[in-house]
C-alpha cells in the first residue's frame, strides 16, 4: 500500500493579515477512502503480512473511521476483518460509516458497553488465534503511528522544497493519539521547529494526553532515536477546550467551523475535524489580534473520498442489525 504525497494549500479566505492558514490535505491519502487511518494502515497491514496473519480484529465506535478504513484496505489486501463496535452519538455520518462497514463485509460485533469489549475481542473473535492480528483502537500502536512519522518527513521535504513556509504550529485532532505521536516524533527527527496543537476530541482529556505522550516515547525508542524524545514531547500542546460534552457530541464552535470550512471548499465531520478546525481558526484570530506574524497548518485527517461507491450494496438504516442500531446514542 503506497500513500501518495498529499498537497499543501493556502486557505487565503481564512487567513488574516500577517497570519497565514494552510491545510495539509491528508483527506487525499487514497481515492478509495482517505484520511489519517490510511497512513497508519500502510504500516499495520505490512506488519500483519510479515507476521503471516490472515485475519484482523479491531475495535472502535460504531461510526469509526479506523474500523471502516481497516475494513476497506484490509479486505483489499486479502484479510478477513472483524470489529467490536461500541456506542456513539447518532449522526448521519456515523450511520453511513457503519452501513459502509457492513457493505464491505466487515464481521460486526456490537458491544453495548465498553466492559464487554475484552470478552468479545478475546473470546468471540479469537484475537489470540495464531492467524489473527489484533489492532488496537484507532490503529494507534507503535506500528500505526509510524505512518505519521512518514507524514512529518513528507512535510519537512515539502517545506525544504519551498512549497510553504515552515509552520509555527500544526493543528491536529487527537483521539487515540497515534497521529500526534508519530507527527511529534517525525518533526523532532527532521529538526523542525514546528509545534503541535493537539486538539482533544476524546475523553478523559488527561488520559488522552498521557497515552499520546507515552506513544511518542515508544515510537522514538522503536526507531532507536530516544535522544529526540524531549524535543518531540516539548512541542506538543494539548487543547482540551473544544471537546464539548465528549467524543462524538457535536459542538456549536464545531458547527460554525464546519460551515466556514465548507464555504472554503473543505469538508469536515462533527466528531474530529470540526472541533479541530475551530481550534485552528481561534489560533489564527488570536495571533492576528496580538499582531504576531505566524504560519498555522491545519492537518486534515478526514477522508474526502465520496462514500457512495462503498455504499452501493449497503443496508438502509432500518435494515442494520438491531444490536448494531442500538449503538446509536
Ligand X SMILES: *Cc1c(COP(=O)(O)O)cnc(C)c1O
Residue 177 interacts with ligand X (CB under 6 A): yes or no: yes
Q: CA-CA distances (angstroms) from residue 109 to 70, 81, 197?
A: 15, 11, 35
Which residue's CB is nearer to ligand X, number 272 or number 287?
272
- Give me the least distance between CB of 149 and ligand X, in Å please: 13
Residue 35 interacts with ligand X (CB under 6 A): yes or no: yes
**Which cell numbers hold the place of 238?**
494539548
- Give me the least distance between CB of 176 and ligand X, in Å please: 3
The CA distance from 89 to 136, in Å, is 21
Using CB under 6 A, pick the residue from 71, 141, 176, 216 that binds ligand X: 176
Residue 30 interacts with ligand X (CB under 6 A): yes or no: no
Q: Outline where 77-167 has alpha helix (H).
A: 92-103, 117-119, 142-160
Residue 60 interacts with ligand X (CB under 6 A): yes or no: no
Q: Which span (10-18, 82-90, 171-179, 232-240) binds ligand X, by CB under 6 A?
A: 171-179
Which residue's CB is nearer to ligand X, number 38 or number 192?
38
- Give me the least distance between CB of 294 and ligand X, in Å please: 23
Q: Which span (176-184, 188-196, 286-294, 319-327) binds ligand X, by CB under 6 A?
A: 176-184
Binding mask 103-142 for ligand X (x = CB under 6 A): -----------------------------------x-x--
Binding mask 86-105 for ligand X (x = CB under 6 A): --------------------
The CA distance from 278 to 166, in Å, is 22
Q: Kindly provide the b/e burial profile for residues 88-122, where b requires at least 16 CB atoms within 10 angstroms of the residue's own CB.
A: bbbbeebbbbbbbbbbbebbbbbbeeeeebeebbe
Cis before 204 (ω within 30):
yes
**Which cell numbers hold the place of 317?**
438504516
Residue ranges of E strands in the chain: 8-10, 19-24, 55-61, 80-86, 107-110, 132-134, 169-174, 195-200, 236-239, 294-299
The CA distance from 72 to 325, in Å, is 21
Using CB under 6 A, pick the residue from 30, 209, 273, 304 that binds ligand X: 273
Using CB under 6 A, pick the residue from 63, 89, 167, 175 that binds ligand X: 175
Residue 39 interacts with ligand X (CB under 6 A): yes or no: no
Could you tell me how many residues of this chain bind ligand X (CB under 6 A)? Answer: 19
> Which residues does 316 contact at the CB level (< 8 Å), separation at least 6?
99
**Which cell numbers hold the place of 30?**
487514497
Residues binding ligand X (CB under 6 A): 35-37, 65-66, 138, 140, 173-180, 272-273, 301-302
Amino acid at each position: 500500500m503506497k500513500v501518495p504525497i498529499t498537497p499543501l494549500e493556502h486557505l487565503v479566505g481564512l487567513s488574516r493579515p500577517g497570519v497565514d492558514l494552510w491545510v495539509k490535505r491528508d483527506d487525499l491519502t487514497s481515492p478509495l477512502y482517505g484520511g489519517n487511518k490510511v497512513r497508519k494502515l500502510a504500516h499495520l497491514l505490512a506488519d500483519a503480512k510479515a507476521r503471516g496473519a490472515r485475519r484482523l480484529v479491531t475495535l472502535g465506535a460504531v461510526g469509526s473511521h479506523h474500523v471502516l478504513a481497516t475494513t476497506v484496505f484490509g479486505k483489499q489486501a486479502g484479510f478477513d476483518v472483524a470489529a467490536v463496535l461500541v456506542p456513539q452519538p447518532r449522526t448521519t455520518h456515523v450511520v453511513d460509516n457503519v452501513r459502509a462497514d457492513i457493505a464491505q463485509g466487515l464481521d460486526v460485533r456490537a458491544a453495548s458497553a465498553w466492559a464487554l469489549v475484552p470478552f468479545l475481542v478475546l473470546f468471540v473473535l479469537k484475537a489470540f488465534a495464531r492467524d489473527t492480528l489484533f489492532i488496537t483502537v484507532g490503529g494507534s500502536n507503535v506500528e500505526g503511528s509510524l505512518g505519521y512519522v512518514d507524514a512529518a518527513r513528507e512535510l519537512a521535504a515539502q517545506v525544504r522544497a519551498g512549497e510553504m513556509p515552515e509552520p509555527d504550529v500544526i493543528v491536529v485532532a487527537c483521539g487515540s493519539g497515534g497521529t500526534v505521536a508519530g507527527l511529534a516524533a517525525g518533526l523532532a527527527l527532521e529538526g523542525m521547529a514546528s509545534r503541535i496543537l493537539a486538539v482533544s476530541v476524546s475523553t478523559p482529556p488527561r488520559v488522552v494526553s498521557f497515552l499520546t505522550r507515552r506513544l511518542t516515547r515508544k515510537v522514538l525508542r522503536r526507531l532507536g532515536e530516544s535522544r529526540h524524545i524531549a524535543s518531540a514531547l516539548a512541542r506538543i500542546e494539548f487543547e482540551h477546550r473544544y471537546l464539548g460534552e465528549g467524543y462524538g457530541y457535536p459542538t456549536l464552535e464545531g458547527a460554525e467551523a464546519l460551515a466556514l470550512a465548507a464555504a472554503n471548499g473543505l469538508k469536515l465531520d462533527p466528531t474530529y475535524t470540526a472541533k479541530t478546525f475551530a481550534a485552528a481558526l481561534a489560533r489564527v484570530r488570536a495571533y492576528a489580534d496580538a499582531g504576531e506574524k505566524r504560519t498555522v497548518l491545519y492537518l486534515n485527517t478526514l477522508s474526502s473520498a465520496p462514500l457512495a461507491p462503498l455504499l452501493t450494496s449497503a443496508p438502509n438504516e432500518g435494515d442494520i442489525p438491531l444490536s448494531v442500531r442500538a449503538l446509536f446514542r
